Structure 1
């Protein structure tokens, strides 16, 4: 089934890592897995998880102002703590925390009120489930999956019946999410801990698509995924097909009290422009405090990015990957009809901006956001090798504080020269 067009057109999503790990501000799930804290200490956070100021409407409005078209919240991380009142298992915030209520339903409703698509994160693995550490990975790609007490049977003896019970539990929980909240996107994780055939993903995919045949699935559904999910750094080469860069605003996925190393708005604009210029989406992560509030530092960065997007929306939504590297010193996007190039200039252009290999005649160049027209000319070239199109730099008043975008209107669909020049 082809990927839903809304996903590739959306460009920006917000990742929300929210769970009991925000109480002490420790790494989500991994802190007890690696022994940074004891399992007992980690689970004691259940007692302090209040969601006392959890206001998904306020968060959804912030995400919309950021320019996002979808959001993905951690409905259940590797620690197995569900944010809804699951009938499968007994570990959820409704029964075992002072929050004592479903947090997923109001989130889904709030996003839809803002016109945003609803994404839910769910981990295939559950390091707290009694039946999870029951089988071994036949072809492990991570050294610890067949030795960790949280993943592998302690005596090395597999228990297929226990594993079957675990899959029934996982499939049942995913079914609850599909039936209750009808997510537009399901973002899976934890897939590396078992082989594809062990996960039983054919049946799970069929269950999901029976509930909503338009559900978008990430690549961590392995053979059933729709798009790739690189993390924490723009790839040097775009993955094949649709993709999404997962990036934290600071250094942590969930809330951590001591993490003040926030990326600047300027840096986030650069990450965003580079990502969409290569044809991807940016899934930008925030970690709410245990009470449900997003920090002022993270909110300010979402607002700042949203301001830049609002001024340059024509170069963002619905566009496709722009020029390959070497044609323009910076990222670019291309309009859906392939007749307008949007050149992103991170530094204020001083003299002129060059575009190489452009066979098209340029009809008009303007500064996006202000509409200021710019003059241009073609210098050099041969019959078979186009010259360089030089665009005069905009006036200082038309330069954006974060990144200036030049709209280059072409006389037809983009036509690039990619050769090596005349011998």
Structure 2
């Protein structure tokens, strides 16, 4: 293999990895964009984890409920010196990286995105460039990302890092302009917006920390940036170039800023912002991104599975969020839901992973029951919490998968199918273990649900094949 200067740089970044990872890095040097994206487009489902100092507060500050959820340092205007004391309470002695990854994998999630640094500016890993990190400042004194990287690598789940790009309330040089000038800046510790120079922060903190994340933990599937804010086009380009030189297979989302990135990110909605590009919906399982001790409003397993189907049938990925506790545990309701999703995916996962949307002209007419709507009980959540019956489709390897969402009547009737000119020759219900009765005529496809079909999670999947 001919080694160009760029290839040598890539290899130097990976030289400290174990030999198996070194071999992988070499193999990734010549990837095309399509090859780089393939695993992600096949994955369809990932786990999002918001874990930070806000997890210690768990919804309460000085005995009172907080405003702003994970952003409460901003909303409550808490001085950095006070906020930093939360690190004294971060000691996740119950953290079990292997168990976390296993729960995700069992639920059919093929990648895991965790907050390496959120807007609070605290690094949840051992950051040589900033001592404001979990190893230096907490009683835990260990690097949880190393444990998570090892568990992901062992179980075949892609490790990915979230990094807050244009907001950092610990650093004095981070101006913002949303929704107004200084609207998301730390103006109580650093009041003069005119003196803040983003490029100083970019050089001092962003570039070193992104380099650390790409050189300390082996292969990274995605760098998931948030809030680009005032990053310049030149800086976005420089950052992307550095990422490609360090880990050529690593992909980035659109929040690297300035129109760059490999895919679009939609937040708390089930529809893409720019449907022409690959896209991902990130969504909370409950009301908040991070841990709240007295959390309410968890979505039901049925709604969560519906949301997964809605996104995948539109060609997107779903990144489903959980906020671990400061002790290192997933909340019990989140575990219950992951296990329920795992049970459904064990039967129906082939209709999710590796699939693409199946065009069904006229399907839009049946879409009204599942359109995103504002859910008043959730924080910034525009996803629908309704469970009206709906039909969705995906396809892979010559099969069409028909989803009957929230179907409680004994017969599934699909009236739009004849418009697709699909003449069904074979039909089976995933997980049924026996033949189901069905009939297709000029008006509709009619499927009789077996009497013993599980009504606990009424999202049924049928594999359709034509005679062509």
TM-score by shorter chain over 0.5: yes
- Aligned partners of 1:238 and 1:279 also within 8 Å: no
Q: Supply the distance in 2 between the matched residues of 1:278 and 1:35 (Cα, whole angstroms).
A: 39
- Aligned partners of 2:285 and 2:322 also within 8 Å: yes
Counterpart for residue 372 of structure 1: 434
Out of 421, 424, 431, the residue aligned to residue 359 of structure 1 is: 421
Structure-to-structure mapping, 1:379-394, within 5 angstroms: 379=441, 387-394=442-449
Counterpart for residue 376 of structure 2: none
Counterpart for residue 395 of structure 1: 450
Structure 1 residue runs without a partner (length 5+): 380-386, 413-423
What's the CA shift for 1:374? 3.6
Q: Supply the distance in 2 between the matched residues of 1:217 and 1:254 (Cα, whole angstroms).
A: 22
Q: Supply the distance in 2 between the matched residues of 1:60 and 1:205 (Cα, whole angstroms).
A: 28
What's the CA shift for 1:95? 0.7
Of the structure 1 ranges 17-26 and 163-172, higher mean CA displacement relative to structure 2 is found in 163-172
Q: Supply the distance in 1 between the matched residues of 2:162 and 2:114 (Cα, whole angstroms).
A: 6
Structure-to-structure mapping, 1:264-279, within 5 angstroms: 264-279=300-315
Counterpart for residue 27 of structure 2: none
Q: Supply the distance in 2 between the matched residues of 1:147 and 1:229 (Cα, whole angstroms).
A: 20
Q: Over aligned residue pairs, what C-alpha RMSD do you find?
A: 2.5
Q: Tell me the TM-score normalised to structure 1 length.
A: 0.86
Q: Supply the distance in 2 between the matched residues of 1:159 and 1:148 (Cα, whole angstroms).
A: 10
Give deviations 1:258-307, integer Å, cap 9, x for gaps.
21221111111111111111111111111111011112111110010111
Number of aligned positions between the proteins: 398
Change (3 A) 1:204 1:260: same
Q: Does 1:63 align with 2:63?
A: no
- Aligned partners of 2:125 and 2:143 also within 8 Å: yes
Change (3 A) 1:237 1:24: closer
Out of 219, 239, 243, the residue aligned to residue 254 of structure 2 is: 219
Structure-to-structure mapping, 1:20-419, within 5 angstroms: 20-26=53-59, 30-35=71-76, 39-133=80-174, 140=177, 142-145=179-182, 148-150=185-187, 154-158=191-195, 160=197, 163-181=199-217, 182-191=219-228, 193-197=229-233, 200-222=235-257, 223-235=259-271, 239-324=275-360, 325-326=363-364, 330-356=390-416, 357-379=419-441, 387-402=442-457, 403-412=459-468
- Aligned partners of 1:272 and 1:282 also within 8 Å: yes
What's the CA shift for 1:158? 4.1
Structure 2 residue runs without a partner (length 5+): 1-32, 60-67, 367-388
Change (3 A) 1:237 1:173: closer
What's the CA shift for 1:17? 0.8
What's the CA shift for 1:93? 1.0
Counterpart for residue 383 of structure 1: none
Change (3 A) 1:57 1:352: closer
- Aligned partners of 2:393 and 2:401 also within 8 Å: yes
Give deviations 1:190-229, integer Å, cap 9, x for gaps.
21x215437x011111111111111111111133311122
Q: Supply the distance in 2 between the matched residues of 1:260 and 1:292 (Cα, whole angstroms).
A: 20
Counterpart for residue 16 of structure 1: 49
SS at match of 2:266: coil
Change (3 A) 1:268 1:395: same
- Aligned partners of 2:264 and 2:274 also within 8 Å: no
- Aligned partners of 2:48 and 2:113 also within 8 Å: yes
Counterpart for residue 382 of structure 1: none
What's the CA shift for 1:327? 7.2
